[in-house]
Amino acid sequence: MFYGCTSLTKAPELPATTLATACYCSMFNGCTSLIEAPELPSVNSMYEDSYSDMFNGCSSLNYIKAMLTITPGAHLTTNWVSGVAATGVFIKNDSATWNVSGVNGVPTGWNVYTESEYEVVRHYELATTSANGLMSSSDKTKLDGIAAGAQVNVVTSVDTTATAGVNLSLTSGKLDVTVTGGSIASGNGSVVTGGTVYAVTSTLAPKASPALTGTPTAPTAAAGTNTTQIATTAFVKNTVDSKTHYIANLQSGTAANYITEPEFKSVKVNGSATNSASSSNCVLQYDTTNKCLKFIFN
């Protein structure tokens, strides 16, 4: 009837209690998607090949409930479970005394229960996330591995006194570390803030009025910047260089080089301001007596 129906997953009920010769022979043969067989009721009579090859080749079949009291065997159930799943559940009538295994009886490797036994077992199957039940050995091992008093917590901050060799770690969030009377050595330790990892290499300077050591650096401001931004040595040098004329070969007691007057619109000589609007030159000389440089206008 359903021979070779590979898409069949659920079989129809078979309530008949009086069977004719070969009435169910090969009925589901080759139904590779069939998982659960229809319940086979206790029968008054069973003739040759009534169940032969009935589930032959049903490779996904893993549940059969057969209430037969008549002993199955050759010419009645020949090869009826050949090629079914390697493991499954076979339920027998409480009154059945037969014990036939293999392709003509109970599939090899399957668990066998009487109907009464299975009523107890099915209420205590392995627990799932949605149903109560028994605990598997692997779950019991996991449970035994949890320390007494352990809790599931989401850590957002850590407040602890760390001693030498103690490692602190945080998967996400922020880990603030305060060191008193010691330092944080470089290594695998890190402080995580907003997803960015900052390596901890030594005692951290405070945010307010830090006393920095070594050679701290900062971004160099653009020329002409006039804000509270830090002025680096590079910024200062660039500013001075843009306003200074270099006078080469200036030596003690020698005549100075000449530089053009327009750079000196107002020059103090002996404490008095001297202005020159002409394009005349001025002379820079070294005063050996006062040990200083002085400007002399022509």
Domain boundaries defined on the chain: 1-139, 170-204, 258-297
pLDDT top residue among 7 and 282: 7
Residue 34 has pLDDT above 50, yes or no: yes
Output 287-296 pairs: Cβ under 8 A, ≥24 positions apart.
Answer: 288/252, 288/253, 293/256, 294/269, 295/264, 295/267, 295/269, 296/269
Residue with the bigger pLDDT between 24 and 139: it is: 24
Write down the mean pLDDT value for the chain. Answer: 74
Q: What are the tens digits of pLDDT across the range 116-144?
A: 888 877 767 777 777 777 777 788 888 88
pLDDT of residue 262: 40
Q: How far apart are CA 24 and CA 48, in angstroms?
A: 11
**How high is the pLDDT of residue 296?**
63
- Which pair of tokens denotes residue 77? 């159930």
pLDDT score, position 161: 55
| Alpha carbon separation from 165 to 51, 185, 187, 191, 258 (Å, rounded) | 73, 10, 12, 17, 70
Q: What average pLDDT does the segment 276-292 reach? A: 57
pLDDT band at 146 (very low <50, low <70, confident <90, very high): confident
Check residues 34 and 124 and name the one with the higher pLDDT: 34
CA distance 221 to 213: 22
89-104, pLDDT tens digit by residue? 999 999 988 889 999 9
